[in-house]
Structures are given as C-alpha cells and as structure tokens.
A and B are shown apart, each in its own frame.
Chain A
Amino acid sequence: MKYMMFVCTDTEPDTDPTPETDIDVWVDENDAKGRRLQGMVLAPKATATTVRVRNGQTLITDGPFAETKEVICGFDLIECADLDEAIEVARTHPMARGGRIEIRPLADFEQ
C-alpha cells in the first residue's frame, strides 16, 4: 500500500534530550529498502498561496489554507505492507519528535 506522510511542525516538540536520528540516515535507510518512493521539503509557510475558484472567479489569498500553528513542512510518499509498517517508518523520522506526522493511505480505486 502507498501512504503519504505529511511532515508537520508542532507547538510542543519532544523534550527528551537524546539526539534525534539524522534525516539523511532515515532517507538512506528507507530508500535502500525501496519503501520511500518520493519526498521533499517545502519552503516556509510565508511562501504559501491558496487558490480557489468560485463562480468562475479565481480567489487568491496569501498563506496556507489551514489557519493552525502546525505547518506542513514536507512530505514523503512511502510503500508499505500495512499501517503498522507505515507507523514504524513514521516514528523513526526525526520530525516525529520535532513535530508530528500524519499518515494517509492513497485512495485505492482498484479495489
């Protein structure tokens, strides 16, 4: 199954002083296992623009669509056997401690 990992910031990061895993180690490991299909870091939220079309009119606003303190700062597309494996991949990502990660399966229209 394919899962999208939304990597987000969090207002209450982990306070455990143990050093975080290096993101490069995480990427290399999951790339080597063929689990990480794609992944990118996003530019800061100050660069975000939200676009809507209503009744033929394009509405453009500054900033992200969700007015929350948590911001999506990157994503990874991963291929895993099931949710437990995806959780395992997510929890070893350094941002699981520095922020939070939402895992969503891609919709399966084949089923």
Chain B
Amino acid sequence: MSDPHEAGPRAAGAAQAAAAAAGDAYPRIVAALIRVTGDWTLAEDCAQEALVTALDRWPTDGVPANPGGWLMTVARNRALDVLRRAAIERRKLRDLAVQALTAATDDEVERPPGVAVADDRLRLIFTCCHPALALPAQVALTLRVVCAVPTERIAQAFLVSESTMTRRLTRAKTKISAAGIPFRVPSGDALGERLPGVLAVVYLLFTHGYNPDGEPAFADEAIRLARLLASLMPDQDEPRALLALALLQHSRRATRRDAAGELVPLDRQDRTRWDHAAIDEAVALLADLRQDGPYAWQARIAACHATARSVEATDWRRIATCYDRLAALEPSPVVGLNRAVAHGYAHGPASGLELLALARADGALDGYPLALAAEADLTARAGDGTRAAALFREAAAQAGSEVERRALLQRAAEAQSASH
C-alpha cells in the first residue's frame, strides 16, 4: 500500500472512497461469508484482502460505481479461491461452502432466497455478543469483526499486549464454532432476553470512548453501531433510546475539557458549543418511543441537561422524576447515587443527602470517589464549606484518573475559600 498523500489527489480520493465503502461494506461482507462458510477467520481475511485490493486498484482504475458490490465480489472470489485450495480433511464442509458461493450471485450471497429477513450484520452482532462469551471477548470481537478496528488498536485501548488480544479473539472465535454458538438473531422471547446484552456491549464501548482515559474513536464506533441496531430493529425501542443517549452525551464532546485538557464540569461548559444537531436528532428519537426502558430514561435525563439553556434553567424536578422511574426499573447503587444528586438540586441538599445515605446504606458505594464527591457537593450547598472541602480531598485521593483527581482538588479549594 502506498502513501495516498504522496501519490496525489486521485489516490487520496480512492483511499477515501475505500474507507467510506469499507465502513458500510465490511461487516456485510464478513457476515455474509460467515453465514455461507461458517469460517470466521476466512471471512475476516477475505474482507481485509478485498479492502487492500481496492486501495491498490482504485487509484489507477478509478472507484467503481458500486464500491460495496465490488468489494463483495472480490472477497467472495478470494474465499472461493482459498476454499478450493483448502486441506483435504475438511472436504465436506469445504464443498458445501464452495457450492453456496458459486451457485449464488453476489446479491444472493448477501440476501439468500428463503433465509429469514434479518440482516446478516445483525446476526453478526448478536453472535459476537452471545452471553456464552466473556464480556471482554464480546467487546473485542464486536470491535474487530463488526467495526473492523485493528487488533493492535483494540489491545492498546484495553491495556493488553497485541498477542494477548489476538489470543482473546482467537479463543472467542474457537468457542463460537466448537461450542456451536449459532449465527442467528434470536426470535420471540429469546430476543427480549438477549437484546439488553447486545446494547450493554455497545454502551460499554461508548463509555470507553467517553471516559477521560478512554479511546475517543470508540465513541464514534459505538454510535455507528447503535445507529445500525436502531435501523435494523425498528420494532424495538431500546436501540433507538441507546442511540439517543449516546448522541446526547457525545454532543458535549467539544466542551468536556478545557485548553489544558482538564475536565470541565457540566455546569461550566459553553453550551453554545454543544452539538445541537445531535441533540435535536436525539430529542426526535425520544419523541417516537412507544415504551420507556432503562436507556430511554437515561436518555430523557441527558436530554433535560442538553436542552436547558443554562444551568439555572435545568428542569431538575423532571430529572429527579426520571431517576425515580429509572431506579424503579433498574435499581443499582450508581443510579441511587445520581438520583440523590438530582433530588438535591430539585428539592434541596437535605433531601439529596437523605437519599444519598439510603443509596450508600448497603456499602456498595464504599470507595467510590463519585459518591464522596456527591456528598461533598451537597454538603457545600448545605453551607458547610470546611467539611465539603475535606470530602472533596478524600474523593480526590480515591479518583481513578489523574484528570479527575485534579478536578476534585480544584473543587476542594473552591469549597474551602467559600467557607471563609
């Protein structure tokens, strides 16, 4: 592969076209080849090779009229080639796959007659997120196979060596074939049971892109996945709610850090620099929901923040109510904590501290710096600056990242000076 910048504008254009086609076509190609051949490694290798061939040929031959179709043909021919040369002991499987690949047109490889309507990409996502795989493996496999993120980058993001990540991916693919994990979107009741797991993987990916020390590009990948799920599962509300939630949180990406890279709390962010197109899209998505699940309530809370003209104009009563609903639907220590904070703003710091004590009662929030930070903030607003400063310092000592630690120490200093 040559450097597109050296080879001139035509090569750069072709590289761009390949990248654009890849984003859309890659998971389709991988999924179709897996369904036909049952061989994950073969499917990935052939899809990769099709992209490499495109980068090689398009700069001189020009970008084809249907880039996705072109890539599919190249990948399919490559798969046939490999299978025909494959070792003899797998002959029966091989013959079946060769037959399926030669009999069909490209279009039929993607949309075989008689196969249920579910999109291959959806099958791929549900298989990658099968609960019989460990959660880290689900996340890594989704990034690698659905989003085409190189193994090296996934390894960096999850702080393991590339060889460890390669082993993790190989083990997951081996389990899929050896344990008989089906390449299928579950139907009926099973769909309702499995969908939350799939959405959890997408959301985990998003938060990994959104966290202070995370990999920012993963937030975009997660939004792309959520968009895909929302479009492929129009009967389900939660994928659209998840998309709305991710769009709302991501709309603040330009303002979450200052020029020095320090975290800027929500109340000090420049709201004019939020991504208002993304906020509008999310609000429209939420308006169309039929029934509110956990992601919908979280998104509605995020929407209250995103659509408030200023901190003072935030509808905290509405947010507190949304947290009540969320806590009833999916109780967790962190939801309990956020609910306490919301009630603190809606109904006064005393009411917030009371709910916070309730959320911490079973010890699940012990050693959780955000619980201390919330107590510190409520205490400051209740008027006890000295105690608040001590609590902020205690939270800083437990902070998970350097950026968070500095932000908390800054709050400690402010609380202290306010008390004088």
Query: Which residues in A have some Cβ–Cβ distance to B below 8 Å?
Result: 1, 3, 80-84, 86-87, 104-105, 107-108, 111
Q: Are A86 and B93 in contact (CB under 8 A)?
A: no
Instruction: List 22 A–B pairs whose Cβ atoms lie within 8 Å, in order of A's numbering.
Output: A1-B180, A80-B180, A81-B180, A81-B182, A82-B180, A82-B182, A82-B184, A83-B130, A83-B132, A83-B179, A83-B180, A83-B182, A84-B182, A84-B184, A84-B190, A86-B180, A104-B179, A105-B178, A105-B179, A105-B180, A108-B178, A111-B90
Q: Are A111 and B93 in contact (CB under 8 A)?
A: yes
Nearest CB on B from A77, distance (A): 15
**Distance in angstroms between the alpha carbons of A105 and B174 in the assembled complex:** 12
Task: Find chain B residues with CB under 8 A from A83 CB.
Answer: 130, 132, 179-182
Task: Find chain B residues with CB under 8 A from A86 CB.
Answer: 180
**Distance in angstroms between the alpha carbons of A80 and B132 in the assembled complex:** 16
B333 within 8 A of A: no
C-beta contact mask, B169-190 vs A, less than 8 Å → 1, else 0?
A: 0000000001111101010001
Our count of residue pairs bridging A and B at CB distance below 8 angstroms stands at 30
**Distance in angstroms between the alpha carbons of A1 and B181 in the assembled complex:** 11
Task: Find chain B residues with CB under 8 A from A87 CB.
Answer: 132
Nearest CB on A from B15, distance (A): 39
**Distance in angstroms between the alpha carbons of A3 and B178 in the assembled complex:** 11
Query: Which residues in B have some Cβ–Cβ distance to A below 8 Å?
Result: 90, 93, 130, 132, 178-182, 184, 186, 190
Nearest CB on A from B69, distance (A): 31
Task: Find chain A residues with CB under 8 A from B90 CB.
Answer: 111
**Distance in angstroms between the alpha carbons of A14 and B93 in the assembled complex:** 42
**Distance in angstroms between the alpha carbons of A48 and B320 in the assembled complex:** 59
**Distance in angstroms between the alpha carbons of A86 and B182 in the assembled complex:** 11
Nearest CB on B from A80, distance (A): 8
The 4 closest A-B pairs by CB, nearest first: A82-B182, A82-B180, A1-B180, A83-B180
Known contacts A111-B90, A111-B93; decide if A84 and B178 are in contact (CB<8 Å): no
**Distance in angstroms between the alpha carbons of A14 and B186 in the assembled complex:** 26
| Nearest CB in chain A to that of B131: its residue | A87
Nearest CB on A from B80, distance (A): 20
**Distance in angstroms between the alpha carbons of A98 and B194 in the assembled complex:** 24
**Distance in angstroms between the alpha carbons of A1 and B130 in the assembled complex:** 18
| Nearest CB in chain A to that of B190: its residue | A84
| Nearest CB in chain A to that of B93: its residue | A111
**Distance in angstroms between the alpha carbons of A80 and B184 in the assembled complex:** 15
Nearest CB on B from A111, distance (A): 7
**Distance in angstroms between the alpha carbons of A104 and B180 in the assembled complex:** 10
| Nearest CB in chain B to that of A104: its residue | B179
User: Other than the known A83-B179, A111-B90, what 14 A-B pairs have Cβ atoms closer than 8 Å?
Assistant: A3-B180, A81-B180, A82-B181, A82-B182, A82-B184, A83-B132, A83-B181, A84-B182, A84-B184, A84-B190, A87-B132, A104-B179, A105-B179, A105-B180
Q: Are A84 and B179 in contact (CB under 8 A)?
A: no
Centre residue among B179, B184, B190 by max chain A CB count within 10 A: B179
**Distance in angstroms between the alpha carbons of A84 and B179 in the assembled complex:** 10
| Nearest CB in chain A to that of B92: its residue | A110
Nearest CB on B from A44, distance (A): 30
